[in-house]
Structure 1
Amino acid sequence: MGVRGPTPKRSDNRVRRNVTDENGVSTKMAPAAINVKPPAEDRAWHPVIKGWYRSLKESGQSVFYEPSDWQAARFLAHYASKVLRAAEDTTDPTPLRAASIGRIWSMMGDLMTTETSRRRARVELIRLGLEPGDGDTGGGDEPGTEVVNINDFRTAYE
């Protein structure tokens, strides 16, 4: 999953760039699969889950996915779809439980589907045509990032 603790800063904001981790262990490397093709989604999945699965195919981190990662995503989609369908069942609805949602969110994090999980895995996605600090880097702690006063929004909508 990556490191624990606070979300690491983006690489262009970090001062130290060690070759090894804090325990002196370097990253092991092995050849990746060639021409990884994501499996098709199941037509029976919940529409929200279908949308999530399709978004994985378009997301930048998916270039790192191996066939086993795609199978993990399929398993997650199957499980999440069952949870959502059970909650929507009109004859015998099962309420959404925090433990189920937490497990789904954790599994999504393992697939690096959020900025925080990507930073913990030390994966950074950069939009082509933008330089770091141009505003679309997502972290909010980069130099030159605009800070928005939430009170301005609150007074505007009261």
Structure 2
Amino acid sequence: MGEQMARSGGPVPNRSDQRRRRNKVDIDKVPVVLADGVVRGPDCPDGVRGLARDWYESLRTSGQSVFYADSDWTSAFIIARAIEKFEERPTAHMLSAILSGFGSLAATEGDRRRLKIELERAPEIDADEEAAVAEIDEWRARLSR
């Protein structure tokens, strides 16, 4: 993710499991396990406030952040500063630059789909189900003695 990613135009493609046509399309599926409160990357620099801070912090808990290099986090900081300036004095040109920055970090699902990258959340393990399986395994071990 450290290099500039090319964005293709047009509508955002559907997720691979929502496509009607089943033609072979190479999709990089990345299972990502995110626990509540897990953050990655450097802390948001002091002085970054409002929507800019919220965006930066949300990026730190997003699935694609596991792939970010130092240069990506520096880009994220620059984009956060641009968001601050946009909040002070919004212009269409600034919004376009910010959205382009989002694309370079694959920060939105639409950007990731255009790049043929899908993040999948690993299924959560039910503690009750896990305990029941352990109990069954214990009974099997007792019966086989």
Provide the TM-score with structure 1 as the length reference. 0.57
The one of 80, 85, 97 equivalent to 1:82 is: 85
Deviations 1:20-67 (A, max 9, x none): xxxxxxxxxxxxxxxxx6222122112211111111111011122122
Return the structure number with greater helix share.
2
CA distance in 2, matches of 1:122, 1:64: 15
Q: What's the Cα RMSD here?
A: 2.1
CA distance in 1, matches of 2:14, 2:7: 14
Percent identical: 37
Change (3 A) 1:18 1:127: closer
Task: Give 2:9's aligned residue.
Answer: 4
Count of paired positions = 104
Unaligned runs of 5+ in 1: 20-36, 88-94, 131-158
CA distance in 2, matches of 1:101, 1:7: 19
Change (3 A) 1:40 1:49: same
Task: Give 1:60's aligned residue.
Answer: 63
> How far is 1:18 from its partner?
4.9
Contact 2:51–2:83 (CA under 8 A) maintained in structure 1:
no
In our comparison, the structure showing a higher alpha carbon Rg is 2
Task: Give 2:24's aligned residue.
Answer: 17
Asked if 1:41 is matched to 2:38, the reply is no
CA distance in 2, matches of 1:67, 1:97: 29
Unaligned runs of 5+ in 2: 1-5, 27-39, 125-145
